Structure 1
Amino acid sequence: MQLTFLGTGTSQGIPTVGCNCTVCLSDNPKDHRLRCSVIITQKETSLLIDTGPDLRQQLLTNSIIDVDAILFTHEHNDHVIGLDDIRPLYFRRKSNIPTYGLERVHNEIKQRFSYMFGNSVYPGVAQIDTHSINENTATFDIDAIQVTPIGVMHGNLPILGYRFGRIAYITDASSISEKQIKKLSNLDIVVINALQRKKHHSHFTLDEAVEFINRIGAKVGYLTHLSHLMGSHDDISLELPKHIHVAYDGLVITH
């Protein structure tokens, strides 16, 4: 299985518009972060997680020309608003692209992209088949990849993370119940959000993310959804234990 980080930044990305901090002015490519997304591949199956506003650029940069399904974590714009950019993938496959996510998320998507659904379909747009799942949905297969939904709290908003075999991907978490944490046992790799150093109402801080990785006993952890307030990639890396790493755009993990 292979996981590719398409974007590792928070909702504003890095550099942040109008900011002259050292991180935003950095010439280190690892400090340039598009909005959060990953693609999971195994054999001939590819699953895209989230379709943020940078999706077109991410598809081009990573030479992605097809996906077998899209998984949504939640409905905030930095995770869904690039959905229209799946059109080339739809035209290439000549069939509807399945999407998986909370019913609430799909309802929001149908409002924001009403021209893609029902009797109002606009000629030339992509077509998707929506599949509603939740934190109680049993593990299921999408072709060659086994998927387990993980219930996560993003402030007061219930959202989803996902487990794929011995790899888990969770973003925008501020808390996870004991019931859902039990689904994260025996992980080789966990990807978890770490927004900033100061306490935040809807995202893990750096310390909280490190504590979470250690608590669930994952062998290796990767931090994503970082803001410019966190500091530079290199500086953060120096602070972390050996089994925890700062993810960056374009990083590929093979398991």
Structure 2
Amino acid sequence: MEIIFLGTGTSQGIPVIGSTHPVCLSTNSKDKRLRVSVMVKWEDYNILIDCGPDFRTQMLNHNIDHLDAILYTHEHNDHTAGLDDIRPYFFRQGDIPIYAHKRVLISLKKRFEYIFQTENKYPGAPSVAVNEITNSNFTFKDLTITPIDTMHNRLQVFGFKIEEFAYLTDVKTIEKEEIEKLKGVKVLVINALRKESHHSHFNLEDALEFINKVNPERAYLTHISHLMGFHDEVQAELPENVFLAYDNLKIKIKM
């Protein structure tokens, strides 16, 4: 299994438009972050987690020629706004399978009504194969996928455990029984917005505490804002098995 970090930034991305913050002015490519998303590559399958506004650029950056499924964590714009750009895949492959909580599907149908229409559908619009998920295991091909139920302030958000890999973003609180589902993962990806506390995201201290509870072999921090600081400086402060993820990072996990 290979994981590609397509984007590791927060909702505004880095650099933030018009910002003169030093991180936004950095010339280090690791300080430039598209909106958060990962591609899980397994056998010949490409499974996308979240499809944000930078989706088209991300697909072109990595020459992704097919897309087998999209898993949605929640309905916020930085995780969903790229749905229309699945059109090239749809034209070649047909309906693209999507997996999401019922609430998220309702939101997508409101925002992208033309994609979900079954009558008088515009011929240039893409279509999706809808799969409603709950907090129970489901399968994609031969993979078992375990949703991880978390809270983003007052909004429910799903993380996903896929074999020995787990991906959680926009987490602020998580119940003990959900943490137990993560025990034994080799690689954990978890959000860490900044060093200061935040009302709806883990900060760096929260994320490191959570990593200690799960105890993976390796952990990667994502959904990072410019307020976290310069990539190289933050990385130098982290424990040996914890890494500040960056756009276009690729990692492999033995299964």
TM range (shorter): over 0.9
Contact 1:155–1:203 (CA under 8 A) maintained in structure 2: yes
TM-score by length of 2: 0.97
Contact 1:114–1:121 (CA under 8 A) maintained in structure 2: no
The equivalent residue for 1:92 is 92
Q: When the two structures are aligned, how many residues end up with a matched partner?
A: 252
The CA deviation string for residues 58-95 of structure 1, in whole angstroms up to 9 with x for no partner, is 000011121111000000000001100010111121x2
Contact 1:45–1:145 (CA under 8 A) maintained in structure 2: no
The equivalent residue for 1:22 is 22
| Deviation (angstroms), 1:144 | 3.7
Structure 2's unaligned 5+ residue stretches are: none
| Deviation (angstroms), 1:146 | 2.2
Matches within 5 A, 1:153-172: 153-172=151-170
Contact 1:32–1:249 (CA under 8 A) maintained in structure 2: yes
The equivalent residue for 2:233 is 235
| Deviation (angstroms), 1:145 | 2.6
Output the aligned Cα RMSD.
0.9
Matches within 5 A, 1:1-255: 1-93=1-93, 95-118=94-117, 119-135=119-135, 137=136, 139-255=137-253
Structure 1 segments of 4+ aligned residues over 6 angstroms from their partners: none
**Aligned equivalents of 1:120, 1:113: Cα separation in 2:** 15
| Deviation (angstroms), 1:130 | 1.1
The CA deviation string for residues 208-251 of structure 1, in whole angstroms up to 9 with x for no partner, is 10110111111110000000000011011011000000000000
Contact 1:44–1:144 (CA under 8 A) maintained in structure 2: no
TM-score by length of 1: 0.97
**Aligned equivalents of 1:51, 1:179: Cα separation in 2:** 28
**Aligned equivalents of 1:217, 1:188: Cα separation in 2:** 9
Structure 1's unaligned 5+ residue stretches are: none
Identity %: 48
Contact 1:7–1:35 (CA under 8 A) maintained in structure 2: yes
